[in-house]
């Protein structure tokens, strides 16, 4: 048996369509069987509510008098794109305010717009005969705009890898706060309710298909950026009218030390046309697997710790290396259900008709990494190979002499085997002199928990270590933990000298 | 009930003294010693003895504040994601059967870790 889209739409118009949410579907199929479910259910609604960084909106402000072609634009001091004349702009969700606290960005401008607040528009122009005006400052509300069309390049990830941190330091990432030593696991996505998880082969989701976006009736444009269907990481480009959105389904957020992002509700209704649709929409959390990746490794290819299912992640704790580790969702399952239920209501009330894609999305695509034509600057290019060191059992007076003679503030400390065991600084020595209680050897005053770098580490990662730990030097060690050089914060200045590695 | 105790009298064992004098057991949830700000302890005491213990500590030279509630949860801002759940060392947060965030403020030791971990600014310290 098969059903046509027209038949389903006729039932929606008649008010007789049977609509269920995707989380109800597994039990229905278990009870009625696949044929029974196909006969019974007409539409399955899906939903997700989480951080969708790659989002934003096209805005048109109408013309000023005298007119201006806005070239640089700020909305509440968040810069918007000025390359699409004359009074059009695109405001991106993750752009940070240039003046206000770091926790206000493009996403907050969008949320403030939809909650009816006035936004300060500031723009500059170089002026022309047709657009003589050079600058403008005004306050605008959503109702004052001609258009506010949300167009999101990458939304509704099919699924997303979970995050853990095996390093010694707490990390603040777009996957939230990651405690050191695998202290917690964070994840994103709604599992069984996730739109693409219920249509992994993209037979029903494609260009032109109606969706719920931020509370408005929107539409799928087509494949999203970084769409990687072949690896089960499909994405969608979406659009919707911002004037119909509301804060139940759209919230600005701020990830500590990452920046602003937009939390969005997205739901897609799936017409139950055939047995294949029934099978795919019967997907459970247990069936959807992702990898747990180690964000302690600052690389594009973060190591996989182990596979994990959404059922495990949603249970609140998982086992990792024999220990129980708590999990945190970054997206809201409660709101994902609200999205799916709202969509269900719209269809039951006859407010939304379904359609099949006008263009299908390529399911064989795999996202590529960036082509880089210039090599990354490594620590070895600016580190100081002449490094003054000291032994653990030497006196601090010896350390003081070496610090003075070497004109440095940091002495790497070596053990008998020549391995790095600590660092002693001028501050440590001064402290020991000020409070001379039995502290005479270097090993009594040195810092033992040393943050180090390697010669082949990219300079940006070393710079991040200096900043995060508020320190001013990193010993450079080899695989045997021998100190082969030292990188001082002041060495970073070499990067910007004429003829330096970055010029 | 939680008491926030600030100690200025160098190394006088005020908390131990109060336990010894009253025979009431006090749990130290969190303690901090800072060269500039002095010593501060967050202690948990039985509700019925809260006022008496607070007075005793004050008479021994401590500054004491009774904390009526722990972390404050702004339900308007909260979207029930659960980012705070795995950050909290005391298990204050959990999702209920309807996936709504529940907060057991009694367990809170006011460490503040969850505040920066909340993407929606929905958690604030109330003291």
What tokens were used for B106? 């009694």
CATH number, domain of A397, equals 3.10.580.10
Same domain, A319 and A210: yes
User: What is chain A's pLDDT, residue by residue, as a tens digit (503 residues)?
Assistant: 789 999 999 999 999 999 999 999 999 999 999 999 999 999 999 999 999 999 999 999 999 999 999 999 999 999 999 999 999 999 999 999 988 767 899 999 999 999 999 999 999 999 999 999 999 999 999 999 999 999 999 999 999 999 999 999 999 999 999 999 999 999 999 999 999 999 999 999 999 999 999 999 999 999 999 999 888 899 999 999 999 999 999 999 999 989 999 999 999 999 999 999 999 999 999 999 999 999 999 888 899 999 999 999 999 999 998 999 999 999 999 999 999 999 999 999 999 999 999 999 999 999 988 888 888 889 999 999 988 999 988 888 888 888 888 788 899 999 988 899 999 998 888 888 777 666 688 888 888 889 999 999 999 999 999 988 889 999 999 999 999 999 999 888 888 877 666 54
Measured CA to CA, the distance from residue A94 to residue A253 in angstroms comes to 10
Same domain, B16 and B42: yes
- In this structure, the number of other CB atoms found within 10 A of the CB of residue A232 comes to 15
Q: Print the domain residue range for A340.
A: 5-52+151-348
Kindly state whether residue A374 falls inside one of the protein's structural domains: no
Our count of domains for chain A comes to 3
Per-residue pLDDT at A502: 57
Burial of A479 (0-12, 13-18, 19+ CB in 10 A): exposed
Measured CA to CA, the distance from residue B39 to residue A276 in angstroms comes to 66
Asked if B117 and A177 come within 8 Å (Cβ–Cβ), the reply is yes
Q: Which of A172, A329, A337 sits opposite B82 (nearest CB)?
A: A329
Asked if A176 and B83 come within 8 Å (Cβ–Cβ), the reply is yes
Asked if A177 and B83 come within 8 Å (Cβ–Cβ), the reply is yes
Kindly state whether residue A316 falls inside one of the protein's structural domains: yes
Question: pLDDT, tens digit, for every residue of B34-63?
Answer: 666 678 888 888 888 888 888 888 888 888
Same domain, A420 and A339: no
Per-residue pLDDT at A494: 82
Same domain, B39 and B59: yes
Which residue, of B22, B52, B67, is where some domain finishes?
A: B67
Asked if A330 and B84 come within 8 Å (Cβ–Cβ), the reply is no
Kindly state whether residue A369 falls inside one of the protein's structural domains: no
Which residue, of B67, B85, B101, is where some domain finishes?
A: B67
CA dihedral A32, A33, A36, A37 (to 10 degrees): 80
Whole-model pTM: value is: 0.85
CATH number, domain of B40, equals 3.30.70.260
Collapsed DSSP state (helix, strand, coil) of residue A101: coil
Same domain, A333 and A300: yes
Our count of domains for chain B comes to 2
What tokens were used for A71? 């070239």
Is A483 labeled as catalytic in the residue annotation?
no
Same domain, A119 and A175: no
Measured CA to CA, the distance from residue A291 to residue A159 in angstroms comes to 10
CATH number, domain of B91, equals 3.30.70.20
Kindly state whether residue A355 falls inside one of the protein's structural domains: no
Which residue, of B27, B46, B67, is where some domain finishes?
A: B67
Chain A residue numbers touching B95 (CB-CB < 8 A) = 316, 333-334
- How big is chain B by its Cα radius of gyration, in Å? 17
Collapsed DSSP state (helix, strand, coil) of residue B19: helix
**Chain B interface test: which of A47, A170, A176 (most B C-beta within 10 Å):** A176
- In this structure, the number of other CB atoms found within 10 A of the CB of residue A404 comes to 10
Q: Print the domain residue range for B24.
A: 2-67
Kindly state whether residue A264 falls inside one of the protein's structural domains: yes
Kindly state whether residue A503 falls inside one of the protein's structural domains: no
Measured CA to CA, the distance from residue A190 to residue A45 in angstroms comes to 13
- Confidence category of residue B116, pLDDT binned at 50, 70, 90: very high
């Amino acid at each position: 048996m098969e059903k046509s889209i027209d038949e389903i739409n006729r039932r929606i118009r008649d008010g007789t369509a049977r609509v269920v949410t995707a989380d109800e579907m597994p039990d229905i199929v278990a009870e009625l069987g696949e044929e029974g479910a196909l006969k019974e259910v007409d539409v399955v609604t899906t939903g997700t509510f989480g951080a969708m960084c790659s989002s934003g909106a096209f805005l048109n402000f109408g013309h000023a008098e005298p007119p201006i072609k806005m070239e640089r634009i700020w909305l509440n001091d968040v810069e918007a794109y000025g390359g699409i004349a004359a009074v059009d702009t695109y405001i991106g969700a993750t752009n940070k305010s240039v003046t206000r606290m770091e926790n206000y960005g493009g996403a907050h401008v969008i949320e403030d717009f939809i909650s009816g607040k006035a936004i300060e528009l500031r723009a500059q122009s170089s002026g022309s005969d047709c657009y003589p005006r050079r600058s403008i400052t005004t306050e605008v509300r959503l109702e004052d705009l001609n258009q506010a069309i949300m167009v999101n390049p990458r939304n509704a990830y099919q699924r997303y890898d979970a995050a853990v941190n095996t390093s010694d330091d707490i990390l603040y990432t777009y996957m939230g706060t990651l405690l050191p030593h695998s202290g917690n696991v964070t994840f994103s996505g709604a599992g069984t309710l996730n739109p693409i998880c219920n249509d992994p082969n993209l037979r029903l989701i494609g260009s032109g298909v109606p969706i719920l976006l931020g509370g408005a009736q929107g539409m799928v444009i087509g494949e999203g950026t970084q769409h990687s269907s072949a690896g089960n990481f499909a994405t969608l480009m979406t659009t919707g009218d911002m004037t119909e959105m509301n804060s139940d389904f759209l919230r600005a957020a701020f990830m500590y030390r990452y920046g602003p992002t937009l939390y969005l509700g997205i739901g897609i209704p799936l017409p139950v046309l055939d047995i294949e649709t029934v099978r795919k929409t019967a997907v459970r959390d247990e069936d959807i697997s992702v990898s747990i990746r180690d964000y302690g490794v600052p690389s594009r290819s973060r190591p996989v710790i182990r596979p994990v299912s959404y059922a495990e992640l949603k249970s609140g704790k998982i086992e990792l290396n024999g220990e129980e580790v708590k999990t945190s969702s970054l997206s809201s399952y409660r709101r994902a259900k609200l999205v799916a239920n709202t969509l269900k209501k719209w269809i039951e009330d006859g407010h939304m008709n379904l359609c099949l894609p006008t263009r299908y999305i390529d399911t064989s695509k795999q996202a590529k990494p960036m082509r880089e034509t210039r090599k990354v600057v490594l620590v070895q290019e600016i580190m100081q190979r002449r490094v003054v060191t000291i032994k653990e059992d030497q006196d601090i007076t010896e350390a003081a002499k070496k610090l003075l003679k070497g004109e440095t503030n940091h002495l790497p400390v070596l053990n008998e085997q020549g391995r790095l065991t600590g660092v002693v600084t001028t501050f440590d020595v001064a402290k020991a002199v000020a409070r001379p209680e039995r502290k005479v050897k270097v090993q009594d005053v040195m810092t033992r928990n040393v943050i180090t770098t390697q010669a082949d580490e990219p300079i940006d990662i070393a710079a991040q270590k200096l900043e995060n730990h508020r320190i001013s030097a990193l010993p450079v060690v080899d695989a045997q933990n021998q100190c082969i050089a030292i990188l001082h914060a002041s060495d970073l200045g070499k990067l910007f000298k004429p003829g330096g590695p970055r010029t | 009930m939680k008491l926030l105790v600030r100690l200025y009298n160098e190394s006088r064992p005020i908390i131990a003294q109060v336990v010894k004098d009253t025979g009431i057991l006090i749990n130290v949830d969190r303690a901090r010693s800072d060269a500039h700000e002095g010593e501060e302890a967050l202690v948990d005491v039985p509700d019925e003895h809260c006022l008496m213990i607070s007075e005793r500590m004050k008479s021994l030279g401590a500054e004491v504040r009774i904390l009526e509630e722990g972390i404050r949860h702004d339900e308007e801002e909260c979207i029930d994601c659960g980012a705070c759940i795995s950050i909290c060392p005391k298990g204050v947060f959990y999702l209920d059967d309807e996936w709504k965030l529940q907060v057991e403020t009694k367990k809170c030791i006011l460490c503040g870790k969850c505040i920066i971990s909340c993407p929606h600014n929905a958690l604030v310290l109330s003291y």
